[in-house]
């Protein structure tokens, strides 16, 4: 039986707000922290917009929207984030994730579960600097988190089996489908999908086709979105960060080489839909 009664979410960006929304809709008191107050305000607006779309599509009613918003609470300091389960959804940098978890470990119960939404960094590495590494687990949602059903549950080398069991049960209570994965760079989905992006960028670099042509061809084969439309949705900067992490994790294996075209987009601030421009203009 799961002992999770409350949830904390670190990071109110695209992934964090989606995760928080899902947890609150499932009835969990959900506390959210983000160092950027502007991001917090935008997150609440985005959640309300998502809920309104859900009402329009008949997936929930106005009373469920109200109940969801009542379950959400933003906290101003990281040290105030206390819950049975804390889910980290911040930048893909090992040292920052470790620093955040060290702070949270001090202010939370030794029985609180610390979960990371990382898409590429090994769970064992993240847990290695903590006093209670057995409480750390990977809980990788997919974008958009309030819609996508799949969640990867990743055990680190020291993760306690009881933690795994609780998280599997928790994911089912929020309407998700858990898939167990071993602690390997990229886990299952990102390891397979990385080449969906990397090879598409290589085709573009070599001038084989243009952005729209590649997307149209891929979508014609049955994919809902081509690689460039999907990178814009995820965030070009986020996608590049994951590719760099995978590249380093596999000891600079050339098949994971980051693209200079993608790097140029990031340098220009063209991060996708969230900035109004990525590979496409919005």
| 152 and 179 Cβ atoms separated by less than 8 Å | yes
Active site annotation includes 108: no
DSSP lists the bridge partners of residue 33 as 10
Report how far residue 20's alpha carbon sits from residue 9's, in angstroms, rounded to the nearest whole number.
6
The pLDDT tens digits for 35-72 are 998 888 899 999 999 999 999 999 889 999 999 999 99
Residue 4: half-sphere exposure toward Cβ, Cα within 13 Å? 29
Active site annotation includes 140: yes
Q: What is the mean pLDDT of the chain?
A: 94
pLDDT at residue 40, as a whole number: 87
- pTM as predicted: 0.86
Catalytic hit among 134, 140, 155, 245: 140
| Rounded average pLDDT over 110-126 | 94
pLDDT tier for residue 2 given thresholds of 50, 70 and 90: low
Question: Residue 104: is its pLDDT beyond 70?
Answer: yes
The pLDDT tens digits for 15-29 are 999 999 999 999 999
| Rounded average pLDDT over 155-177 | 96
- Give the range among 18-32, 155-169, 234-248 with minimum mean pLDDT: 234-248
- The residue length of the chain stands at 282
192-228 in b/e burial notation, b at 16+ Cβ within 10 A?
A: ebbeebbebbebbeeeeeebeebbeebeeeeeeebbb
| Rounded average pLDDT over 82-96 | 94
Catalytic hit among 152, 200, 245, 270: 152
How many CB atoms are closer than 10 A to CB 273? 16
Active site annotation includes 270: no
Q: What share of the chain is helix, strand, coil (3-state, %, to 5)?
A: 50, 15, 35
Question: Residue 249: is its pLDDT beyond 90?
Answer: no
Question: Residue 106: is its pLDDT beyond 60?
Answer: yes
- Chain-centroid distance, C-alpha 158: 22
Question: Among 99, 101, 80, which Cα is nearest to 6's?
Answer: 80
**φ and ψ at residue 9, rounded to 5 degrees:** -125, 125
Question: Using N-to-C axis directions, what is the helix angle for 260-267 and 189-205, rounded to 10°?
Answer: 90
Question: Among 73, 152, 84, 82, which Cα is nearest to 117's?
Answer: 152
Catalytic hit among 112, 117, 190, 241: 190
| Rounded average pLDDT over 64-93 | 94
Catalytic hit among 112, 119, 155, 245: 119
Domains of the chain listed by start with CATH number: 7-181 (3.40.50.720), 190-275 (1.10.1040.50)
**φ and ψ at residue 229, rounded to 5 degrees:** -65, -40
Active site annotation includes 251: no
| Rounded average pLDDT over 75-95 | 94
Q: Is 239 exposed, middle or buried (0-12, 13-18, 19+ CB in 10 A)?
A: buried
Which residue has tokens 């900035």? Answer: 275
Pinpoint the alpha helices (H) of the chain: 14-25, 37-56, 62-71, 94-107, 123-127, 161-173, 189-205, 211-220, 227-234, 236-249, 260-267
């Amino acid at each position: 039986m799961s002992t999770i009664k409350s949830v904390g979410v670190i990071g109110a960006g695209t992934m964090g707000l989606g995760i928080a929304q899902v947890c609150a809709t499932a009835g969990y008191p959900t506390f959210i922290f983000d160092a950027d107050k502007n991001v917090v305000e935008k997150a609440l607006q985005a959640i309300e917009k998502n809920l309104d779309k859900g009402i329009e599509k008949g997936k929930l009613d106005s009373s469920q929207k109200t109940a969801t918003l009542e379950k959400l609470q933003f906290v101003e300091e990281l040290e105030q984030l206390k819950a049975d389960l804390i889910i980290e959804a911040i930048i893909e940098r090992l040292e920052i994730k470790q620093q955040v978890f060290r702070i949270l470990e001090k202010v939370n119960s030794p029985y609180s579960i610390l979960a990371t939404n990382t898409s590429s960094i090994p769970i064992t590495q993240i847990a290695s600097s903590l006093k209670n590494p057995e409480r750390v687990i990977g809980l990788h949602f997919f974008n958009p988190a309030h819609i996508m059903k799949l969640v990867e549950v990743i055990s680190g080398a020291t993760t306690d089996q009881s933690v795994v069991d609780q998280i599997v049960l928790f994911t089912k209570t929020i309407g998700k489908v858990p898939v167990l994965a071993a602690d390997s760079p990229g886990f299952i989905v990102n390891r397979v999908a990385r080449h969906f992006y990397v090879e598409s960028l290589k085709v573009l670099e070599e001038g084989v086709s243009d952005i729209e042509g590649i997307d149209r061809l891929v979508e014609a084969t049955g994919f809902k979105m081509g690689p460039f439309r999907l990178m814009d949705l995820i965030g070009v900067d986020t996608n590049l960060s994951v590719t760099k992490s995978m590249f380093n994790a596999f000891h600079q294996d050339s098949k994971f080489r980051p693209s200079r075209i993608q790097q140029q987009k990031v340098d220009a601030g063209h991060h996708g839909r969230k900035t109004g421009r990525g590979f496409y203009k919005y």
